[in-house]
Amino acid sequence: MAETRIVVLDDDPTGSQTVHSCLLLTRWEVADLRQALRDDSPLFFVLTNTRGMGAEQAAAVTREVCRNLKRALEQEQQAGHPIHPILVSRSDSTLRGHYPVETDVIAAELGPFDAHFLVPAFFEGGRITRDSTHYLLQEGRPVPVHETEFARDSVFGFSTAYLPDYVEEKTGGRIRAGQVERFLLADVRGDVMERLMGLRDNVCCVVDAETRGDLDRFATRLRQAAARGKRFLFRSGASLLTALAGLPPQPVPPEQMGRYVAGGRPGAVIVGSHVRKTTAQLERLLQLPTVEAVEVDVERIDRDHA
């Protein structure tokens, strides 16, 4: 009987923040992928870092990962270790990233799929989806993400937080808003098995979620449908990964993390994001008496390595 492994193609290093005790690959040779497929953890990450690339390069990297993964799966099958992969394209919970470029490549290389799901909820960061509209909680108030600074991103900007319209916008009309399957909170909190089993032809689905319990219930149904032969692809924020993998909470509480620092020596916090939220976090960090700031001239580094 085939084992299940959740394979996460992560476009940015932050995707693993909601999970623990799993591998994160920064290279994707066939041997590396086979090692990850044999690991005891139910999931592993392949850090593609494609959010920092142009669309063409992002597609090329994603294609290379998929082809190597396909060979790794074939070799594991031949070795008597069949694997049933659940594939996740993990991206930003504020809807920035190379969608649909990456999911299109994954579907072409590792499909066909019965459906692909957009599940951008990230509860730990205050991002929820309600009535198919994606929100960022600001001081407890839900703000549609298209009204935030994230929607004005110079590369990945968008005009709507209503996910069916977002899909139509990002696909250039290839997928119309009316063709998108909407899984509302009432659906997610109910019994959706019959509906999941009826999905076909890589239909696009968008999923509501406001609590961890919502995704836990939905993920259980997704796993059951997959066990009955359905093939799904996911484009998600980080919170879905915990639900799909069924992982328990982080075994080490935050206040005890310091014990893993060798000899109690200080470390480095590297800040590269330019959004207002990160600036506020950095300003708070710099108020601590033991923190020293070092500003790095990125353009100079680029020149020195040219």
Q: Is position 255 within any domain?
A: no
What is the pLDDT of the chain when averaged over all its residues? 93
**One domain for residues 270 and 123:** no
Mean pLDDT for the stretch of residues 247-255: 76
Task: Reply yes or no on whether the pLDDT at 239 is more than 90.
Answer: yes
At residue 75, the pLDDT reads 98
Q: Are residues 267 and 238 in the same domain?
A: no
> Residues of the chain with pLDDT > 70: what percent?
98
Instruction: Judge whether 228 lies within some domain.
Output: yes
Average pLDDT over residues 240-245: 93
Q: What is the DSSP string of 228-296?
A: TT--EEEEE-SHHHHHHHTPPPPSS-GGGGGGGSGGG----------SHHHHHHHHHHHTSTT------
Contact between residue 4 and residue 226 where contact means Cβ atoms under 8 Å apart: yes
236 and 110 inside one domain: yes
Task: Check: CB of residue 152 under 8 Å from CB of residue 139.
Answer: no
Q: Is residue 237 part of a domain?
A: yes
Residues 282-305: tens digit of each pLDDT: 899 999 998 998 888 878 877 766
Give the pLDDT score at 246. Answer: 87
Residues 194 and 268 in one domain: no
Domain for residue 250, yes or no? no
The reply to whether 174 and 58 lie within a common domain is yes
Q: Are residues 238 and 93 in the same domain?
A: yes
pLDDT-wise least confident of 29-38, 44-53, 249-258, 283-292: 249-258
Q: Summarize pLDDT for 116-155 with one digit per residue, the tens.
A: 999 999 998 999 999 999 999 998 899 999 999 999 998 9
**CB contact at 8 A, 52 and 199:** no
Domain that holds residue 285: 263-304
On whether both 271 and 163 belong to a single domain, the answer is no
pTM beyond cutoff 0.85? yes
C-alpha–C-alpha distance, residues 94 and 115, integer Å? 22
Distance of CA 206 to the CA centre of its chain: 14
pLDDT surpasses 70 at 306: no
What pLDDT is attached to residue 155?
Answer: 92
One domain for residues 36 and 7: yes
In a domain, 258, yes or no: no
Output the pLDDT for position 257. 74
Candidates 60, 157, 59; CA nearest to 102 is 59
Query: Domain tally for the chain?
Result: 2
151 and 28 co-located in one domain? yes
When pLDDT is averaged across residues 199-221 and rounded to a whole number, the result is: 98
Domain of 52, CATH number, reads 3.40.50.10840
Whether residue 268 sits in one domain with residue 141: no
Same structural domain, 27 and 107: yes
Question: Residue 305: what pLDDT?
Answer: 67
Residue 25 lies in a domain: yes
How does pLDDT run across 88-126, given as a tens digit for each residue? Answer: 999 999 999 999 999 999 999 999 999 999 999 999 899
In a domain, 252, yes or no: no
In a domain, 294, yes or no: yes
Q: Do 153 and 269 belong together in one domain?
A: no
